[in-house]
Chains A and B, each alone.
Chain A
Amino acid sequence: MSGRGTVFIVDDDASVRKSFERILVQAGFEVATFASGSELLAEPRRFDPGCLLLDVRMPGMDGLALQEALRRDGCVKPIVFLTGHGTVPTSVRAMKGGAIDFLEKPIEPDRLIQVVEEALARDDSERARLREQALFRERLATLTPREREVYDAVIAGRLNKQIALQLGITLRTVKFHRGRMMQKLQVDSLADLVRLGRGGNSLPDS
């Protein structure tokens, strides 16, 4: 089952780390373990595909702080938190912060495997989405200015007739540019175009 991504485990307790590693390796996952958040942040492989299992309570940088540090770092892998007793309020925060799940200790091994499976699948589809969008942006760059104008108008939900009026060109010309644009962007349907377009156009926030 290799090539599915690595499970990065961050827990300050060595026995817990080791036992999780054992379970997951036994189940065929690739695993990397870390005793602290700073260890993980120093690891170049952290951008590799995979998912993260983070202990919420750790000395020094706790799980939530690590979650934030990773996000600033540009690491958007799915995060599953490991929590102990009495950390329910923290869990709501973790979920609002974009964690995909949390597991309460002691953890049932089957449950652990299931959650890791889900997290890796999510990472996979997320990466596919990002790849698709990167590709789409590349293709977007090949449009002529006029095609780009037509594209912007289509994305904004305008009809061909409205576009013709807006750009001061004939309906036929709009259809022509639109055809070329769809061809260059390699999309088959309007729905795909809008989906990719809205995603690809999402604010390059500075």
Chain B
Amino acid sequence: MVNDTAVSGDGGGKPRPDRPDATLRFSFLVPYAMALLLLVPASLSAQTAASMTTRPVHPRIIDTWTIADGLPGSVTDVTESADGSLWVGTVAGFLRFDGESFDIYDSNNVQDLPSRRIEALAPAPDSSLWIFTDGGHAVRWSAGATTQRIDFESDALRPATGSQGLDADDFWAWRIDLVYRVRDREAKAVTSGEIFGLGVGARVLIADVQVSRTGEVWVASNVGLARLVDESWQVVPRGSGLPEEPLTDLLQDSGGRLWVATRRGISVQVRDDVFETAEQTADSLGPVAEMAEGIDGTLWVLHTNRLRQLQVFESDGSTSLIPLWQRDWTARTETAMHIDRLGSVWIGGPERLSRISIAAASSLGIGEVVPRLRRGVHHVVGDGGGGLWLGPNCYGLLHWDGSVLRRQEGLDLGRSGCVLGLMRDSEGALWIGEGQRATRYFDGTLEQWSWSEKTRPGPITPFLEDASGRVWIGAEGKVLRSEPDGSLREFGAELGLPEADVWSLAQTADGDLWVGQVGTVSRWSGEAFEVFDEGDGVPLGDIRVLHVTDDGTLWAGSYGGGIARFVDGRFSRITRANGLFDNSISAILEDDRHRLWLLGNLGVFVAPRAAFDSVALGWSSRLDGVHFGPRDGVPEGNGGSPAAWLDTSGMAWFATIEGLISLDTKAFPYDPTPPGVRISSVTAAHGEVDSGDPLVVPPGAGAVTVTYETPGLPAGRGYRYRYRMLGLNDDWLEAGSARVVRFAGLPPGRYEFQVMARNADGVWDEAPARVRLQVLHTWWQHPILRGLAALIVVILIAAYARRRINQAEDRTRRLQHEIQERAEAERQVQAHQRELEHMSRIATAGELASSLAHELNQPLTAIVGNAVASSRMLSDPGTGKAAIREALDDIAGDSRRAAEIIRKLRTFIGRRQLDIEELDLNQVVEETVPMFRRELEGHGVILALELSPRLPRVEADRIQLEQVLVNLVLNAIDALSNQPPEERGLKVSTREGAGTASILVSDTGPGIDEADLDRVFEPFFTTRDEGMGMGLAICSTIAEAHDGALTVTRNPDRGVTFELSLPLSAPGETT
């Protein structure tokens, strides 16, 4: 399927993968660049620098869902309807996927779905969906119901791919040898031979059909490319540059150019009938199975051996194909590829559905520059010119100027080379902390201060430049201040500062200095430290960050205790209990829209400052924010000073264990579209809810359940919901990701249910979806009715007495009549039973039809081949008689084999009398296996036969036993077909019991609920889509008619075993 999203040229929305004009561009500040030159040693050649060119890239996140996640079976197609919902077609129904759970639609909940096997899906121009099913049917699915149906005369149809929604009044569908046009509800077929001008029956195999925006229809086949012009088919002539190879796929891009794939590569249309090779692909990639256009002007190519993304559509109109991303992604039979409007690539295949999405965060690779480095970064500050200084702990200092990342040489960082803190002061000088020493580096000159002789440095060296331009340095148990004379002045324990490492420093507008240590925050107002601790609400753990927001408020982020706001002489904490993403916070940034971005162990979190305030001030209990984690390309955060940096372009940089990552604060929310929640159903536990406004809930209906849904694409992070039931509770309640609310015991009255949703980026619906409800009074709740009730009781008593008398009279009459009828009925039951068995066998044979056809085709194929070969041998003097005789013998043998299959089928489905004979159950099993052998292969089920040697014989009707066995096996195959391939085991065995012999059919399927075990033999009990649920009931009756039994038990590990046991024939008769 090809999506119909146009490539949008500009930014906005979700972050895009690499583009030449990405917003991540920095300009250089000339004086600073010059300063750099002074430091770069001559040995650092230009070559080395160039090889380190590095840009932030958005990682690709791959999510895969399998049967274990609720996917009902192999995926055949993936598409998006016009309302933005994602739909998946499978071999067991179609489903809507919201990123968390599958809403499955199959024959169980869609009455008129022609088959549960979905061949293809196509969106219609409105929000409805066309569903092409097995058997050659197409139905239109609109607002939860099928609204239209088209039946084609041939199977295996799929819609043509095109840029517009599938219009019911005019569309194209195809299969390998036919193309259908449906217009005014009439389907007209044309054969592939006709299209390519080779005659109706010519053998031309179609690989793809594409309808362009302008209505052009293109057909790709093994003999070339054809298009419909003025209602007549024209074949693109040879010599047009089109490959001579069979074509495997077609794609018309948003610029109108047609791309044609073969097993060798890809060609592109340059003019009307002129094609050029765009790429010749290596043989190892395998043929191109599918192509799709990405939203960023790339082409995604699903080879049979690999999935690749290629850069195409250059801005000047030229084309280049650059392998941007490769992954050993075997397509196998995976041919369902869809690119959604957010740019995520969906790939469906055998029992799995995968999404490749572009992470919100981008990451700057570090490992290439410092190979020894475990990629982690701790400290990051801007360089004043659009670049960054990075401190990856003890691997020196790195500088990134926007394109080149390199290790900064020429700095004497002591023996360890550790950078433990960074700051850029107002003069533009860089301060580098090393635990026991600080280096100020400005304009090519270095100044250094030491304050400790310890060889092991402390954990961190925070810096702060105060309002008067003096620099404060945090150390172990003290802070140091640079004095105008160039010395450092110490402030420590003697002034009341706790003896612990200083983690963080901040200055509030009133000039007070704040010092964060483990479990304490101390204020310096010029005379002594005032220490705030746990008793004042300071979070436990190292106070890793102190931050003063634009409004002058002090915030403290701790390692393990969440964050806290300083209010009225106390700290007020916000933790995970309030909805904070993590209790370990190492950095706080504030963007220009007053949102706070926090870095923690679990990633990055953002929420409006007002939301933090409101929780800290006790106005609300929950913090509503957005968490970016590994699924968004955000790894675990590191501690640092500072561990995050907001640059002037609005890009927020975060130090993590996987290097530096960035999030664009200006572009956030990346998905600005509110989810637009809608209420999908209101039901009551007992009784129907009447439609209307308000909805009427009948009296005594019990619990009311409301479900709601959001159209739109599933995002990496889940949607969230809140609701309220006005009339019951006016406050909004958080529903998390639940899409169903249940209200038990709503008192009679009028209500309004309201629900709102929030998308992954925290954008809430502007208005709630709402539905009004009226719960009616039950009769006893009306006082007027109570009098009436008393009256009714009196009447009922009188009526009861009268009825008892009538009943006695009736019973006598009925008994007489029944005696006469019973004899007749007995006769009829026998006849009906036989008829039912017969009907069931015919139905069973119908299910086996394709197996039997294949079974018959084999000898026929051999016969035709041998006959023609013999005839040619006869006219070939070189062939001996023996060879000809051998061929003729084979013909005779195969003819007998074919006749035997037909005989077998005829006896199986024929109308017949019971024929009880002595039978060997092993023989019955062996002779029945060929009837379902192909069915096993078709479903990938492995059959194991375990036949007990020297099994005593039984007296039974052979055909009826075969019927039971075939039924049990077909049921087992059905149960197994949704299992993972390696779990599709079926065992048929025989065994001798006490006076019985049995056939056992044992599967490794999902099993049967304990509660249902007894019910499986009841008529009309079924879990299957086809059939009436009579099979097992009839089988059970057959067993009883033979004085035997059909039983079912659950296997100890998984699956069930059916056992048909029959009494042995009288002793002495055994041979």
Contact = CB atoms under 8 A, between A and B. Distances in A.
A22 B263 CA distance: 32
Interface in B270-326: 277, 279-287, 289-290, 304-306, 323, 326
B861 A106 contact: yes
Nearest to B860: A106
A186 B849 CA distance: 61
Interface stretch (B708-716, B766-774, B865-873, B1041-1049): B865-873
Contact of B175 (A27, A88, A98, A100): A88
B493 interface: no
B306 A101 contact: no
Contacts of B893: 15
B876 interface: yes
A68 B304 contact: yes
B1024 interface: no
Interface in B330-351: 330, 332-333, 335
A58 B854 CA distance: 12
B222 A101 contact: yes
A91 B222 contact: no
B158 to A, nearest CB: 8
A22 B853 contact: no
B155 interface: yes
Interface in B209-267: 222, 246, 248-249, 263, 265
B280 A22 contact: no
A27 B938 CA distance: 33
B1023 interface: no
Interface in A68-109: 68, 71-72, 76, 84-86, 88-89, 91-93, 95-98, 100-102, 105-109
Contacts of A13: 858, 862
Contacts of B854: 57, 84-86, 105
A204 interface: yes
B850 A86 contact: yes
A205 interface: yes
B859 interface: yes
Interface in A175-206: 198-199, 202-205
Given A85-B850, A95-B205, A203-B282, A22 B858 contact: no
B207 interface: yes
B861 A19 contact: yes
A71 B305 contact: yes
Contacts of B858: 13, 15-16, 84, 105
A29 interface: no
Nearest to A156: B320
Contact of A15 (B284, B290, B333, B859): B859
Contact of B865 (A23, A62, A204, A205): A23
A22 B281 contact: no
Contacts of B863: 19, 106
B333 A22 contact: no
A42 to B, nearest CB: 21
B772 to A, nearest CB: 48
A163 B222 CA distance: 40
A97 B287 contact: yes
A103 to B, nearest CB: 9
Contacts of B287: 96-98
Contact of B869 (A89, A97, A105, A109): A109
Given A15-B859, A96-B287, A22 B887 contact: yes
Nearest to B933: A59
Interface residues of A, number: 47
Contact of B286 (A71, A88, A91, A110): A71
Max chain B CB contacts within 10 Å: which of A23, A110, A205? A205
Given A86-B155, A97-B333, A62 B248 contact: no
A92 B207 contact: yes
B119 interface: yes
Contacts of B305: 71-72
A106 B333 contact: no
A98 B304 contact: yes
A2 interface: no
Most buried by B among A62, A72, A89: A89
A93 B869 contact: no
A19 to B, nearest CB: 3
Given A19-B890, A59-B937, A100-B222, A199 B865 contact: no
B864 interface: yes
B864 to A, nearest CB: 5
A22 B869 contact: yes
B333 A198 contact: no
B857 to A, nearest CB: 4
Nearest to A84: B854
B304 A57 contact: no
A62 B937 contact: yes
B631 interface: no
Interface in A99-153: 100-102, 105-110, 112
B176 A203 contact: no
A18 interface: yes
B761 interface: no
Nearest to A114: B203
A64 interface: yes
Nearest to B940: A62
B869 A23 contact: yes
A198 B277 contact: yes
Interface in A1-49: 13, 15-16, 18-20, 22-23, 26-27
B434 interface: no
Contact of B248 (A18, A20, A98, A204): A98
A96 B323 contact: no
A58 B858 CA distance: 12
Given A15-B859, A85-B854, A98-B248, A205 B937 contact: no
Given A22-B869, A84-B853, A88-B155, A64 B175 contact: no
B894 interface: yes
Interface string B153-165: 0011000000000
A107 B857 CA distance: 9
B869 A64 contact: no
Contacts of B285: 203, 205
B934 interface: yes
Task: Find the residue from A27, A95, A204 having the highest chain B CB count within 10 A.
Answer: A95
Contacts of B286: 71, 97-98
Nearest to B249: A96
A200 B1045 CA distance: 71
Contacts of B897: 15
B857 A106 contact: yes
B865 A107 contact: yes
Interface in B935-978: 936-938
Contacts of B860: 105-106
Given A84-B854, A205-B306, A18 B862 contact: yes
Interface string B131-158: 0000000000000000000000001100
A138 B206 CA distance: 38
Given A22-B887, A88-B156, A95 B246 contact: yes
Given A19-B862, A98-B248, 7 more contacts: A26-B873, A26-B876, A27-B872, A57-B854, A85-B857, A92-B176, A98-B304
Those 5 A-B pairs whose CB atoms lie nearest each other, nearest first: A19-B865, A98-B287, A15-B862, A84-B854, A109-B868
Interface of B: 119, 155-156, 175-176, 203, 205-207, 222, 246, 248-249, 263, 265, 277, 279-287, 289-290, 304-306, 323, 326, 330, 332-333, 335, 850, 853-854, 857-866, 868-869, 872-873, 876, 879, 887, 890, 893-894, 897, 933-934, 936-938
